[in-house]
Every structure is written in C-alpha cells, then in structure tokens.
C-alpha cells in the first residue's frame, strides 16, 4: 500500500518570472512498509522558466467608417482608417469589409496575420549545412527553428477579433482586439508529446513535436517557423510557401500566376509522404 500526496507551490519573482520548481505539482509516494520504500521514487519535471506577456498586441475602438478613435498598440501607435487595406497590419488585413454584416454580439475572427520568415535550410543550421547550401553561416538572418536554429528570427503575428459596439439599439462603432499569435504557438512549442513535463525549446530534428493547422490546411504553428504561413509586408499578399517538387511541377503546369490562387483548388494534404522533395 502507498499514500499519494500532491504539493503545489507558487513563488512569484520580482520581475514577473516564475521558476518551474516553484510552480509545479510534485508527486510523493510514501510506502507504509519499510521494505517497500525503496520501490517508490519521485521524479520532478525539468526546470521550465516562464514569463507573463500581454495577451493582445492591439486594442482599438473604431467608428463606422473605420477611423480608429481610441487605440493602444504595439503594432502601430498612430490612429488610421482601417477601411484602407494599406493602413492595416502588414498591409494584409481586409477585416473592415466584413464588419457591416455583423449583428449584435457577433464576433469576426481573422486568419493568422504575420510576416513570413524564410530559411534556406531545412534541419540543423550548422556551418556545414550552410556551406552545402552555398550561403553564409548567418543563422540570425533565417527563421527560428527551435534547437535547429535557436538564434533565428521568430514568426510574429496576430489573430484579430472584432465585434460591434452599441448605445442602446444604435451601432456606434467596433471594438477590435489583436491577439498576440505567440500565445497560439505556446500551445505547441512548449509541448514534448512523450515527456512528463514541458520543454523550453522544440526540437523538430527528433521528430517528436506538436504543430497546428488552420481550417484551410495551412500551418499556423510549428517548431520550424519557416513552415508557418505568412505575408510579404511589401505587397500585403501571402509569401510563397515551401513546396514539394511534385506540387511545384503541378503549379508550373497549371499556367496560374499566383501560387495561392492555385492552392485554392488543390486537394488538402495531397499524398503526404516523407519521400517528397522540396
């Protein structure tokens, strides 16, 4: 027989950072019989450091014409008219055109909007692999990829939520919240599917990691940030994603000028295989 006890402790740090050893559930197994005590052991989770970050990158109130009246933002501190796409985040948002059709208490939810971060290397960003690819060993100029490139540039994005604001029965404007997409990535980047605790850095090279697709079959959270769908900030259009060779061939044969127009009619997850080449 044994007695199972749980202990939870929480000690906030002055800078808002918590240490995992201060905020974990520790499991103790105590045997009643002396001869059994050596059979019961306790394994604590790996130390995991976490930090509180703002939930939203932007909160705004805009009038019925799309003019921002009240705004708190780390994206753009200036009030703009969001009915013009060129004024929106990365020149990529078209949410205002969807707002007039919203009824009271309805919420518009955008797709993930973020700048695409490329990489010339799949896998470990090492001097040897950089040489093979014919590029300089400058990992900081390529996308973050967990342990494969911990010095890389992180994907930064938002998911926008907008709802109408009323005074009585009269609609007077809209409330907009831009969720920091990092909170989405935290669901996957800190998970080690076969471990008993969280991880502070993902490792796609081990083949044991979590990732997330959106409803269109596009990657929106991944251990390798260059696999996350994103925009070209200069054009406000989606950047060309990583393509397998067979998909590239099909696109070239289609005579379609835009890869994303082509992908709208291409089967999702078509014949996926690790044998495919990029």
Q: How many beta carbons lie within 10 A of that of residue 138, not counting itself?
A: 12
Assess contact for 181 and 157: CB atoms under 8 A: yes
Q: What is the DSSP letter of 230?
A: -
Give the tens place of pLDDT for each residue, 3-24: 333 333 334 444 444 344 444 4
DSSP H helices, 134-226, are: 182-189
Cβ-count burial 92-130 (b if 16+ within 10 Å, e if not): bbebbeebeeeeeeeebebbbbbbbbebbbbeebeeebb
Note whether 152 and 236 are same-domain residues.
Answer: yes
Distance between CA 87 and CA 181 in Å, rounded? 20
Half-sphere exposure of 212 (CA within 13 A, CB side): 15
pLDDT score of 29 more than 80: no
Note whether 30 and 127 are same-domain residues.
Answer: no
Split into its structural domains, the chain has a count of 3
Note whether 84 and 218 are same-domain residues.
Answer: yes
Note whether 91 and 147 are same-domain residues.
Answer: yes
Note whether 91 and 191 are same-domain residues.
Answer: yes
SS percent in the chain: helix, strand, coil, step 5: 25, 25, 50
Note whether 192 and 83 are same-domain residues.
Answer: yes
Note whether 227 and 98 are same-domain residues.
Answer: yes
Q: Is the dihedral of CA 112, 117, 121, 123 positive or negative?
A: negative
Between 75 and 266, whose confidence is greater? 75
CA 127 to chain CA centroid, nearest Å: 28
Note whether 221 and 248 are same-domain residues.
Answer: no
Distance between CA 207 and CA 191 in Å, rounded? 13
Note whether 120 and 25 are same-domain residues.
Answer: no
Note whether 16 and 122 are same-domain residues.
Answer: no
pLDDT score of 160 more than 90: yes
Structure tokens at 53: 């970050």
Note whether 230 and 98 are same-domain residues.
Answer: yes
Give the tens place of pLDDT for each residue, 84-112: 999 999 999 999 999 999 999 999 999 99
Note whether 173 and 221 are same-domain residues.
Answer: yes
| pTM of the complete model beyond 0.85 | no
Q: Which domain holds residue 75?
A: 54-241
Assess contact for 276 and 246: CB atoms under 8 A: yes
């Amino acid at each position: 027989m044994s007695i199972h006890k749980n202990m939870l402790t929480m000690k906030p740090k002055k800078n808002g950072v918590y240490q995992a050893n201060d905020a974990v559930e520790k499991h103790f197994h105590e045997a009643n019989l002396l001869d059994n005590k050596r059979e019961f052991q306790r394994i604590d989770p790996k130390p995991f450091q976490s930090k509180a970050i703002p939930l939203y990158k932007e909160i705004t109130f805009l009038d019925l014409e799309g003019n921002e009246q009240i705004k708190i933002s780390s994206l753009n501190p200036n009030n703009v008219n969001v009915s013009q796409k060129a004024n929106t985040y990365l020149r990529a948002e078209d949410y205002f055109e969807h707002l007039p059709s919203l009824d009271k208490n309805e919420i518009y939810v955008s797709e993930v909007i973020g700048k695409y971060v490329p990489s010339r290397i799949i896998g470990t960003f090492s001097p040897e692999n950089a040489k093979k690819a014919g590029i300089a060993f400058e990992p900081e100029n390529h996308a973050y990829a967990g342990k494969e490139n911990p010095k890389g540039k992180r994907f930064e994005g938002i998911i926008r939520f907008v709802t109408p604001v009323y005074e009585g029965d009269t609609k007077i404007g809209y409330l907009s919240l831009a969720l920091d997409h990092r909170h989405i990535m935290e669901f996957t980047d800190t998970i080690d599917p076969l471990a008993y605790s969280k991880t502070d850095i993902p490792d796609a090279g081990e083949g044991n990691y979590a990732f997330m697709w959106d409803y269109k079959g596009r990657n929106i959270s991944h251990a390798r940030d260059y696999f996350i769908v994103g925009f070209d900030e200069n054009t406000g259009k989606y950047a060309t994603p990583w393509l397998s060779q067979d998909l590239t061939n099909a696109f070239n044969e289609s005579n379609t000028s835009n890869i994303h127009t082509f992908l709208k009619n291409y089967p999702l997850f078509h014949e996926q295989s690790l044998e495919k080449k990029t």
